[in-house]
Amino acid sequence: MNASKLIVAAAAMSMSAVTLAGGAHGGGHGASSGELGKASEASRTITVEMYDNYYEPEEITVEPGETVRFVVKNEGSLVHEFNIGTPSMHEGHQKEMMMMVEHGVIQGGKLNQDMMSMDMGNGKTMKHDDPNSVLLEPGQSKEVVWKFTEKGDIEFACNVPGHYESGMYGDVNFE
């Protein structure tokens, strides 16, 4: 195999690994951490405020099978995400979030809404419409209704590049 074919093969394998690790928007990055909940079944509402690189509260406690309505508010000056998932799911999703920055979707404190709908290949977009996640500009607020189906290693995190690494994640503890 000549050098150029080797490089193409290596690139294809690394892209496949990223795709497998990251899942696909719309496919739900939270599949193993629970499922979309029904607002009418929520046992309580938890307000989560996102500041620049931390959450308030920093951890939550739930019961297996509990449905929680989260009211998520971005009180910071940057775009932030609230995403419920396992640490490995967050790791995969961070690669997709890096693509959002590289393609100009996330611009510091602003989202380029037009770019979010752009086809990124294979019918994949950056709409960020998974049921376990919201991506908010400063001052925005949205809701996530999530059913924690079973105990697991689950956290909520901001996967905007650099935010998770600086400590913007919180634990989901089970009773």
**All residues at 6 or more sequence positions from 48 whose CB lies less than 8 Å from its CB, including other chains:** 55, 56, 57, 70, 71, 72, 73, 82, 156
Domains plus CATH for the chain? Answer: 34-174 (2.60.40.420)
The pLDDT mean for the chain works out to: 81
Confidence of residue 68 (pLDDT cuts 50, 70, 90): very high
For 88-103, how does the pLDDT look when each residue is reduced to its tens digit (9 = 90+)? 999 988 888 888 888 8
Please indicate whether residue 7 or residue 154 has the higher confidence score (pLDDT): 154
For 117-138, how does the pLDDT look when each residue is reduced to its tens digit (9 = 90+)? 777 666 666 667 789 999 999 9
Place of tokens 């079944």: 41
Interior CA angle at 113 toward 111 and 116, to 5°?
A: 100
| Percentage, residues of the chain above pLDDT 70 | 77
| Percentage, residues of the chain above pLDDT 90 | 58
pLDDT at 66: 97
Query: What H or E segment, with its residue span, contains residue 70?
Result: strand 67-74
